[in-house]
Structure 1
Amino acid sequence: MTDVRDRIIQIIADQAMLDPAELKPDMSPQDIGIDSMGLVESIFAIEEEFDISVPFNANEPESSDFDVSTLGSIINAVEKLVAEKA
């Protein structure tokens, strides 16, 4: 799943216009510099990249089954979705 992790980090880094090496798993989207719109765009990019559907409601992120509190939680959730799809 390292490939999945690296691709997610690249998508988020591109969204934040940062070097992927600057991103750490315990960083929140706010720490990274991604606002709610950027987060939605990142989720769309992740869905497209992995051909998955992410259960994320941008209007009520706290009620989603998809944890976006940190980069690590996003990676874990996407890895799970990718594994379920396989």
Structure 2
Amino acid sequence: MSVQDRVIKIIADQAMIEPSDVALNDTMEDLGIDSMALVECIFALEEEFDIEVPFNANEPGKSDFDISSVTSVIAGVERLIADQSG
């Protein structure tokens, strides 16, 4: 399973929808993911990929991790994986 598929599955689980209902250009808001579900999502991503996501739930705008869309989350996870293995 690709990084993209794994990220989408985690996001879909938090949104309580099917992965096939997640579009790459969806925002977390589009998917009905509130701040609490977003934090759960971040924890799940960290656990799934053994990474540390630089995200501060209290100040999401100041985080180095872009959560503006599903695509940006996937790109961020891929970057963190690459940084870790590099």
Instruction: Please name the residue that 2:24 is paired with.
Output: 25
Deviation at 1:48, TM superposition (A): 0.4
Structure 1: gaps spanning 5 or more residues: none
Residues paired across the two proteins, number: 85
Runs of 4+ off more than 2 Å: none
Give the secondary-structure state (helix, strand or coil) at the position aligned to 1:31.
coil
Structure 2: gaps spanning 5 or more residues: none
State percent identity of aligned pairs.
Answer: 58
Give the RMSD, CA atoms, in angstroms: 0.9
- Kindly indicate which of the two structures has a greater share of residues assigned to helix: 1
Distance 2:79 2:4 in 1: 11
The reply to whether residue 82 of structure 1 matches residue 65 of structure 2 is no
